[in-house]
Amino acid sequence: MHKLIIPEIFNNSIKAFFTKKDIGVNIDKICYIYSINRERVYLPIQKHTDIIQLVSGDLTPKIADAVLTTDKGIFVGIQVADCVPILISDIKKNIIGAVHAGWRSTASCILKKTIQFMLQYFHSDPASIKIALGPSIRWSCYYVSREVKDVIFKATGEGKYYFQRDGGYFVDLPTANMYQAISMGIPIENIWISNECTYCNPREFYSFRYNKDHKGKQGGFIGIF
């Protein structure tokens, strides 16, 4: 049996999961497990941006680090190896999305902007938006420079998502993104956070910092069926 991580906060009509190393971003395997049409899977070209893409008919990959769709049968995903994979849905309006939040995209408020897009474009009610933050590098495993902490702080504001030790800073990106979501009106009970750390579990997850290479990625995937 494959070891998928299933955040149990979405509707039954939504399939949402995070993969580990065994499946990674092997799209053929994922399509086989879920009986998904390979042609209906969309992964953007990730560049640590704050670009949000709304996809429907045309599934030619474009540069984006957040993807939204309202089309049934389209499966959107993002790939990570320490960065935070985020799955999001307006469960009332059947909008789904996947967001890639490393420190750069967290500092450029990608999750806030994705929520903002849902509020403005789809008139989503924040109370209907649910968010799952998947496995990523966490807390004392994630040392950053003062400059990186500062840009994340500028985007996020006060909160318990970083600490200082031995002249350096340690940041928890899932918690920073949780604060950003709450600042947009998302109720805390609508936010699910994985307790896994990719760096602590290199057998289970790809970790860029642990392996010091780009050998592989796991993913976060979501679709309406």
CB 131 within 8 A of CB 181: yes
**Integer Cα distance of 80 and 103 in angstroms:** 12
Identify the CA nearest to 125 among candidates 98, 93, 99, 86: 93
Q: How far is the CB of 210 from Zn ion (least distance, A)?
A: 9
CB 89 within 8 A of CB 130: yes
Identify the CA nearest to 108 among candidates 51, 147, 191: 51
Of 10 and 205, nearer to Zn ion (C-beta) is 205
Torsion sign (Cα): 46, 51, 54, 60? negative
Q: How far is the CB of 200 from Zn ion (least distance, A)?
A: 3
Of 153 and 199, nearer to Zn ion (C-beta) is 199
Q: How far is the CB of 173 from Zn ion (least distance, A)?
A: 12
Of 4 and 200, nearer to Zn ion (C-beta) is 200
CA 206 to chain centre: 15
> Phi, psi at residue 116, to the nearest 5°?
-55, -45
Of 37 and 140, nearer to Zn ion (C-beta) is 140
Q: How far is the CB of 138 from Zn ion (least distance, A)?
A: 5
Of 46 and 207, nearer to Zn ion (C-beta) is 207
Q: How far is the CB of 182 from Zn ion (least distance, A)?
A: 24
Of 31 and 141, nearer to Zn ion (C-beta) is 141
Residues that bind Zn ion (CB under 5 A): 141, 197, 199-200
**Integer Cα distance of 108 and 176 in angstroms:** 12
15 three-state secondary structure: strand
Q: How far is the CB of 179 from Zn ion (least distance, A)?
A: 20
